[in-house]
Amino acid sequence: MQILIKIYQVFNKAKHHLLIAFFGVSFTCKHRPTCSQYMSRQIEQNGIKGFFRGLRRILTCW
Partner 1 sequence: MFDTLTQFFLNLLLSINDFVGNLGLSIIFLTILVRTVLTPLTLPSLKARKKIKELQPELKKLKKKFKGKALEMQQAQAELYKKYNVNPLAGCIPQLVQIVFLVILYRALTGFLTEQVTNNINTNFLWLNVTEPDSKYILPILAGLAQLALSIMIAPGAEVEDKVPNKSKSKKVQKKNEQEEDVAEMAASMQQQMIYILPFFTMIIALQFPAGLALYYVTTTLFSIVQQYFVSGWGGLKTYYLRLKLKFRK
Minimum gap (Å) between residue 29 Cβ and partner 1: 5
Residue 3 is a binding residue for partner 1 (CB under 8 A) = no
Contact status, residue 60 vs residue 29, Cβ threshold 8 Å: no
Q: Is 9 a binder of partner 1 (CB under 8 A)? A: yes
- Which C-beta is closer to partner 1: that of 12 or that of 51? 12
With binding defined as CB under 8 A, does residue 56 bind partner 1?
A: no
Answer for which of 5, 19, 51, 53 binds partner 1 (CB under 8 A) is 19
